[in-house]
Amino acid sequence: MFYALVVFDVFIAALAQMLLKSSSLSTHKSFFFEYFNPKVIGGYSIMVLSLLLNIYALNHGVLLKELSTIESLSYIFVPLLSFLFFKETITWRKAGAIAMIMTGIFVFFI
């Protein structure tokens, strides 16, 4: 149950990164609005939620070494979400690296 929460946590942190990147690609009318706009505030709010969910999972039996290993899923979620939202390409080199990461996570949990 709490491991699924950590995976969800990693996913929402990746979504927060998409919000922040989306904001960085936009033009803003001033320096202030570059950092204080709904996308940036939302992205950092989601990051804080992610942190709180991590702490909650750690308090309910997820070990720190397991949490940090599960956090490696962000290397999978971020390229996939970047492909979906920003049409960034996933090269063979990136796909190979993602496969190696998945192999490492799989080996660790066996």
The domain in which residue 9 lies consists of 2-109
pLDDT tens for 49-99 read 999 999 999 999 889 888 888 888 898 899 999 999 999 999 999 999 989
pLDDT at 109 over 80: no
Q: What is the CA radius of gyration of the chain?
A: 16
**Among 2-6, 55-59, 74-78, 104-108, the least confident range:** 104-108
pTM to 2 decimals? 0.85
Q: What is the pLDDT of residue 22?
A: 92
Q: What is the pLDDT of residue 6?
A: 94
pLDDT at 16 over 90: yes
pLDDT at 34 over 90: no
Work out how many domains the chain is built from and give that number: 1
Reduce the DSSP state of residue 88 to 3 states and report it. coil
Q: How crowded is the C-beta side of 96, counted as CA atoms within 13 Å? A: 3
